[in-house]
Each structure stands twice: as structure tokens, then as C-alpha cells.
Structure 1
Amino acid sequence: MPPTGLDPLRHHGPVILLLPADPLRPRRPDGHFAPEAAAARDLGFDVVLVDHDALTRPAGPSPRIVAPTAATGPAVYRGWMLRAEEYAVLAATLRERDIELRTTPEQYRRAHELPGWYADLAAVTPYSVWTVGADRADFDRARAELGSGPAVLRDYTKSMKHHWDEAVHVADVADAAAAWRVAARFLELRDDEFVGGLVLRRFERFVSAEVRTWWIDGRPALVTAHPDTPDREPPADVDLSVVAPLVAGLDLPFVTADLVLRDDGRWRVVELGDGQVSDRPAGTDPAALLTALRFS
């Protein structure tokens, strides 16, 4: 039986777990994912290593991005973040070896980039507007659409939350010059990792640490601390009743939704992500997550 707290789904047998290889010792998993590799083997997964650097290097992916393996069938990736285009290359490379990622490239992009999931979760997440690219005129259009007041800046996949004052928090989107200074600093820090466009999200006041929820085939599988605050265990009364039907409606195989309590007592989604590139918080047993995947 799956660990307590998991929703036991129909068991389809072993799957392949793809993990990043250690850059210096390519026959071993990257140390960050070594606990998941060990737990996966104990649970009967076939563990296959991926050369993340070869997949993401600017010159283009190497034909040897996936280690030799005799394993075939359905696969789940657990690794470092990939651009949607890189994930599509990985999926195509695996398909040539009769390995099929459970999450298609289209599904990955929808979960990984905010414009793909925002409309479905608009009722439970801060109001957001975005640009395509980083053009100043498009940014000003987005500002006007948001109105006035404070906002939070990010791109389609990530914020620079460790640079809150200079590259995230916009004190008043009506102040064009000040808002653009934040955007310009954000673009400078993100550099060539910038994805998609600039996103402005209306500021909301939160009163709790973030909680990471894990969803498989639209059903909640696990509730954990957030990787940024692994010592802040989630409260027992996290209410998923409003969020659950909306996440299920996305019809995505494996996602995470990061929730936080707003000052009016409502749980809000501050981020949705593809579960394959969502970090597991320290202190969470890797077997708990992998057992949920094993029973999906």
C-alpha cells in the first residue's frame, strides 16, 4: 500500500525514472537526486540517467543525452528545470528508444509556464497580466491593464524572489519609471535564463509559509513543506476543497501547486509547476513521492 496520505491509484507496474547524471561522474546520479535514485531502485523503478548539461548547452543537445539502457515503456523525469523546448528534445530522444514520457511536451509547457495554467486557476491565484518578450511598450500596456497599486514581477517560469526589493516588488504599477527599473533589474539578473515574457501579479498579503502540494492525474498525492522552508511543516488543516477541482480540470499528469494562506483566511495558489522539475523539500522521504508515482 502507498504511504499514509497518498491516494492509491490503479497500479500499472514499473516505470522508468529519469534523473540527471553527476557532471563529473556520469555513471552516477547527481548528488542532489541520489536519495531518489536509491528509493526508486528499492521500489522497482528502472533508473536511467540524463546528461542535463548536454541537453541544455547553447550549441544544441548531444545525441548522447540519455545513458544507454535496455528499459522501455512509460517514464517520469525528476531533475533540474528544463525549458519547454529542451523538454521536447528529451521527449523525442526518448521516443526513439521506445521510452515515452508520461507528460507530453505540450502538457509540460502548460504546467511549467504561467500563461498555460493561469486561466484555469484564476479564481485562486493573484490577478496577473503578462507580455510576450521584454518590450517596454508591451510592459507599459500590461501595467495599464493591471491598474494601480503594488505588484510582484516574474517571467513565465520564475521570479527572482531573493532580490525582492530590486527585481520583484513593484510598489505601484502606476509609477512607470519605477516599475520599469524593477523590470530592467529583473531582466539583468535573469539574463539568458529569461523565459517568455514579463508577468505582473497583483500583490496579496500572505500570513503563512508556502505549502507544496503534489498532484497525480488531477488528484492530491502528497502535501509537504516548501523547499525554501523545509523546517516549516504544513498545517494539518490545509484546505484543498476549492483548489482540487480546478487542478483536476487542468488534466495534467503530474504537477505541484504551491499554496499560501492569505490574510483573509483563504488558501491561494502562488505557483503551479510540472512535478518533474519541482524540488522535493529536505526532510521529505523520497519514497513517499515515488510510491505515489509508482501507483499512478
Structure 2
Amino acid sequence: MMLLVPADVLNPRRVDGHFAAEAEAARAAGLRVTVVDHDALGRPGGAGRGVERVTGGGPAMYRGWMLRSEQYAAFAEALRERDVTLRTSAEQYARAHELPGWYPALSAVTPRSVWTVGAGRDAFERACRQLGSGPAVLRDHVKSMKHYWAEAAFIPDLGDPDAAWAVASRFRLLRDEDMVGGFVLRRFERFVSAEVRTWWVDGVCRLVGPHPDTPQDMPVAEPNLDAIGPLIGGLGLPFVTADVVLSADGVWRLVELGDGQVSDRPGTIAPDTFIAMLHTGFDG
């Protein structure tokens, strides 16, 4: 297995500092580590340049900054031209990366959600009516603005269309050109624990740790994944993260699914532990 990581923007021969520890642990574990140009991968037509340093064929995994689904598809195609196959296909990446891809299969264990295609007000208000009045959390197909909770994430009542649109407008302004897909409205639920990030390889939970936003916080009890696990396994995705949290009524709920390649590792999980998890999972 080859591990592909972003290059440092100032020194393209070196690994981006954010992923340097994982790259070092991967080399120590016997994996081949190769850098790619993330900036080039993010530009139209730039995938070929982005993988110029990739040599040798075989399977590969990416550990790096987030890519849009269409960028990842171009990345995968450019690698195929070099006889390198990403362990996660473009279709699998999109399914894990964007909420409309994974929500239908996981709707029983996550807050009720509706979404739009595009960022127009008419579509947004139709989605509000579809979800019904009451509080909701706003995001796009891949990301929220939870650090701007009161102004661009939390909608106190979808039954107040002007107030709801004010939050949506602020969200759209903050996300700007990074906005993906359209608006997503999620029914607000009360949670009583910090989020827990779980890591899954081929449908098996291989590692449980804190969320990167709260790296020192873990619930007193391990999360109960009995309801969530079989549904994630049924997705048939090679490498994903599932962020779970304890609800006020004592049930563990899924708040986010993501592609594991672009999910951040909290600093409290050692890089060698993380790489060992990948090695064990993919090698059986």
C-alpha cells in the first residue's frame, strides 16, 4: 500500500507539516510514502500535475486535505494513468463525503435531514416546509459552520422564514466558493456528551477516539455502536469516520459520516497507533 500525502507548499519535496507525523509512522511501518500537490489537485485540469511525483503502480490511500468529489474523481483518474489505484473509488468517496450520499442508508440513527441542490431561497424555503417548524441545524452537503453557531448554523424555528433565511444567507456568505451542493437542514436534537470519532475499515470499527475539535474530551462510557455499526457495514465503504454523540434520551446518535482519508486525526491519538489501525484493517 502506498500512502499519498500533501506536499509542503514551500518545499514540494517535503510532506505538509500537518501530515508529517503520519507519514513518518507509515514509513516506519513499511509503507511507501509519496507526496502530491494538493493545490494542483484543487485546480481545474490540475490533477496530472498534482500527481507528477507519484511513481510505481499498485494500491494507494490518500491522507490529506479535503477535496471536492469531482476533484477526487480527477485525482483517481490521473493516478490510474500511472497504474495506481486508490483504495477508495471516486464513487465511494462521494458517497461518504457528501450527506446526500450516506443519509438514506443511515437515516434511522441520525437526525432527520432534508437538502437542496443549489443555494436559492425558493429551494431553501421548500426544504424548511418539508422538515417542518421547530429548531434545525444548517450545513451544506459536506460541512457546517458550527463555530458560527448563532449566526450561521442554528435556526431556532423553521416556521419563521425570514429569520431562517437570514441564517442561511450568512452561512452562504461565510462558505463562499467552498459551499458544496446546496443547503442541508437537520432536525435539532439535544446531546449530552462530546462527539466521539470512530474509524471504520471495510465496515469494521478499528479505532475509537475523541473528535479533533475536543481532543481531550471523551465520554465516561464507550459509545454503544450496536445500532449504528451494521448500517455502516452495509455501506460497503473502505475507510470512513463516524462521529457519534450521546443524546439526552440516552441513545448514541450519528452526527456525521466522512471519508476517512480526509478526516482529521485528533492529536491525542498517536500517529503510529493510527497507522497501525490502517495496516491491521487493510491487511486483515
Establish whether TM, by shorter chain, passes 0.5. yes
Residue pairs, 1:166-245, within 5 angstroms: 166-245=151-230
Instruction: Tell whether 2:18 aligns with 1:32.
Output: yes
Ranges in structure 2 where 5+ consecutive residues have no aligned partner:
none
Contact 1:48 1:66 in 2 (8 A): no
Distance 1:79 1:93 in 2: 17
Going from structure 1 to structure 2, the CA distance change for 1:114 and 1:171 (only over 3 Å counts) comes to: same
1:43 to 29, 36, 44: 29
- Aligned-pair CA distance for 1:62: 5.3
Give, as a single letter, the amino acid of the residue that structure 2 aligns with 1:195. V
User: Equivalents in 2 of 1:67, 1:294: separation in Å?
Assistant: 26
1:3 corresponds to: none
| Aligned position for 2:111 | 126
Between 1 and 2, higher relative CO (CA 8 Å, sep ≥ 6) is seen in: 1
CA distance in 1, matches of 2:219, 2:274: 16
Partner Cα distance (1:264, 1:62) in 2: 47
Q: CA deviation at 1:93?
A: 0.8
Q: Secondary structure at the match of 1:265?
A: coil
For the residues of structure 1 that align with 2:192 and 2:21, how far apart are their CA atoms? 32
- Residue equivalent to 1:291: 276
Question: For 1:257, what is the secondary structure of its paired residue?
Answer: strand
1:184 alignment partner, SS class: helix
Aligned counterpart, 2:238 = 253
Q: Distance in 2 between matches of 1:233 and 1:285?
A: 16
Q: CA deviation at 1:294?
A: 1.5
**TM-score normalised by length of structure 1:** 0.93
Q: Percent of pairs identical after alignment? A: 62
Structure 2 counterpart of 1:155: 140
Give the residue type in structure 2 aligned to 1:253.
P
The match for 2:92 among 107, 115, 125 is: 107
Letter in 1 for 2:70: E
Alpha-carbon distance in structure 2 between the residues aligned to 1:283 and 1:117 = 28
1:270 matched residue in structure 2:
255
Partner of 1:10: none
CA distance in 1, matches of 2:135, 2:242: 23
For residues 253 and 20 of structure 1, the distance between their equivalents in structure 2, rounded to whole angstroms, comes to 21
Cα distance in 1 for partners of 2:219, 2:277 equals 19
- 8 Å CA contact 1:16–1:71 kept in 2: the answer is no
Q: Check the 8 A contact 2:224/2:252 in 1, yes or no.
A: yes
SS at 2:159 equivalent? coil
Give the letter aligned to residue 194 of structure 2.
Answer: A
Say which SS state the counterpart of residue 110 (structure 1) adopts.
helix
The gaps in structure 1 that reach 5 residues or longer are 1-14
Query: Does residue 3 of structure 2 align to residue 22 of structure 1?
Result: no
Q: Supply the distance in 2 between the matched residues of 1:207 and 1:255 (Cα, whole angstroms).
A: 24
TM-score, normalization by structure 2: 0.97
Aligned residues: 281
Cα distance in 2 for partners of 1:64, 1:179 equals 43
